[in-house]
Amino acid sequence: MATESANGVSSPELNERDVVITTNDNRNFTVKIGVARVSKTINNMIQDLGESLDLSSGIPLPNVDGPIFEKVLEWCEEHKNAPEIKVEQDPHTRERKWFTMTEWEEEYFRKFLSHLWDLAMAANYLEIPSLYYYTCQKLAERIKGRTPEQIREMFGIEDDLTEEEKAEIRRTNVWCTY
């Protein structure tokens, strides 16, 4: 965790204070600053506000809705003291190395399986690298080794490619097996 906050209040003390965060459906969440700070977006807001930070009036999050934020908070609570994740990739193929998840994280994603897309979007917006990368990995796990039809069915995507376009993709796609 950061040792010194922008407004001069030492970190452990500030982290224990509460902050109110309002999501776009007007739900208020009272969160410990230490937890909210897992999100870099919120952390920046807190730092930008500095002295003028009025903890009771709250921080608005116009792009996140309540149910999703609730899930994100659960993650933040668990990961408030976690070190930054290291993103590595294969230098030759540029393929990213898969992270190994803890049991808690596996369980977390099992619980919110149907919200992976929303979680990815929220994590991207809130800049929570751990959640963002892990969610993307979970999504990749489901795409891996599947046919386009299976993927479409799984994610409810409409097939808007014409046969000609598909044939063209197949032609240029050297590895395409379907």
Partner 1 sequence: MSRKRKNQILNEPPAKLANIEECRLKYMVGEMVLCKSEIDNFFYEAKITAITKSEEGEFFYKVHFKGWKAKYDENVPDSETEFRFKYHTIGNVQNAQEEIKLAKMRKKVGVITNSETLPKQLNMKKLSKFTKMITPDLPPIVIPANSGTCAELPDDILVNIFKYLRREDIDNCRLVCSKWNQAIEKAAYRLPACKIHSVCFNAERDKSIMFKSFSGCFVRFSNLDKDLWQPTRFIFKTSSLESFRIVALSDFPLVDKLQRITKLTNGRIRTDKLVLDIGETIALKWLNKLPQIVQEYISTPNVHLKLLPLTFAYLLTHPEMIYFCPNTQVNIRVKIGSRKGANWIEKNRNALVYFLLGTTVRCAPRYFLDIYLMEIDACLIIEPIVKAFLIIDEPSLFFKQIEIFHDREEISYLKEYGFVLNRSHGQRQIHHLKRPQNDWILEADFHVFDGTIYSMRLSPICVVNENYPY
Which residues make up the interface to partner 1 (CB under 8 A)? 89-96, 98, 113-118, 120-121, 124, 132-133, 136-137, 139-148, 151-161, 165-166, 169-178
Which residue lies nearer to partner 1 by CB, 32 or 142? Answer: 142
| Nearest distance from C-beta of residue 132 to partner 1, angstroms | 7
CA dihedral angle for residue 116, residue 118, residue 146, residue 109, rounded to 10 degrees:
0
Nearer to partner 1, 6 or 121 (CB): 121
Answer for the pair 109, 138: CB distance below 8 angstroms, yes or no: yes
Q: Is 142 exposed, middle or buried (0-12, 13-18, 19+ CB in 10 A)?
A: middle
Least distance (Å) between residue 76 CB and partner 1: 19
Taking a C-beta distance cutoff of 8 angstroms, is the pair 85, 130 a contact?
A: yes
Nearer to partner 1, 45 or 136 (CB): 136
Among the listed residues 61, 59, 58, 75, the one whose alpha carbon sits nearest the alpha carbon of residue 119: 75
Cβ at position 137, least distance to partner 1 in Å: 5
Q: Is the C-alpha dihedral spanning 147, 148, 150, 151 positive or negative?
A: positive
Percent helix, strand and coil across the chain, each to the nearest 5:
50, 10, 40
134/100 Cα distance (integer angstroms): 9
> Residue 51 Cβ, how far from partner 1 at the closest point, in Å?
34
Q: How far is the CB of 87 from partner 1 (least distance, A)?
A: 9
| Phi, psi of 7, deg, nearest 5 | -90, 15
- Of the pair 1, 140, the CB lying nearest partner 1 is at 140
Which of 58, 66 has the CB closer to partner 1? 66
